[in-house]
Structure 1
Amino acid sequence: METIALDTKVKFLRGFSDKTRIQILEALLDGEKTVSQITEKISGNQSNISQHLACLKGCGIITGRQEGRYSLYRIRNDQIRELLMMFNTVLADIENDVERCGVQIEE
């Protein structure tokens, strides 16, 4: 198995470390969406959503493509989709511990 640099792992995990980015990813679980569709689904600010999409794309978590004047975004691959689903599986077991964790959530 190839060893991935620790800094690369940390950068990748930071892509998941924001409430808005998790909302975006959950919105994309059921398929490709435009910025407007994502904004509507999570009741967000379009400019803010666009910044988070750029972060997720830069981290390789999502991909984007142009279709006419629209940018469409989707989860990059099945492995990332499975990782997102695995979060729910793991958290179902440890949710109470995580809620008591002293780590601050940035809003």
Structure 2
Amino acid sequence: MCNTNDLDIKAKFIRGFADKTRLQILQCRMDGEKTVSEIVEIINGNLSNIPQHLNFLKGCGIILGKQEGKYIYDSLRNTQIEQLLKMFDVVFHEVQNKVASCDKYETSNL
């Protein structure tokens, strides 16, 4: 039987990946730890909202932060997260044309 609480938590975890900026952050983390400044530079992001996205990713258990002196280095939690990101790419390449042509659900609250 499906445990509703488990499904709610799983949905929250998946939402961690459901944002373009967070995906950019995760992609640039795949080659190692980065500071906030490095992330902002790599993804050409906005220093005012990157920390919010990092906190979201940390709260969802997707990344970890390690403090060294005055810097915090964030990295993917484990190799399984990296494998999941790679699997997203594999599946996406198979369905990207369908996804690109699907505009039914972009603004829907489904």
- Report the TM-score when normalising by structure 1: 0.91
Amino acid at match of 1:31: G
Q: Segments of 4+ in structure 1 off by > 2 A?
A: 101-105
CA distance in 2, matches of 1:17, 1:101: 16
**2:7: which partner in 1?**
6
Number of equivalent positions: 103
Q: Find out whether 1:95 has 2:96 as its counterpart.
A: yes
**1:67: which partner in 2?**
68
Give matches, 1:23-102, under 5 Å.
Answer: 23-102=24-103
Gaps of 5+ in 2: none
CA distance in 1, matches of 2:28, 2:76: 10
- From the CA coordinates, give the structure whose radius of gyration is larger: 2
Deviation at 1:25, TM superposition (A): 0.2
Gaps of 5+ in 1: none
CA distance in 2, matches of 1:32, 1:5: 30
Q: Secondary structure at the match of 2:49?
A: helix
**Aligned sequence identity (%):** 55
RMSD after superposition: 1.4
Amino acid at match of 1:25: L
Deviation per residue, 1:34-84 (Å, 9 max, x gap): 000000000011121110000000000000011100010000000000000
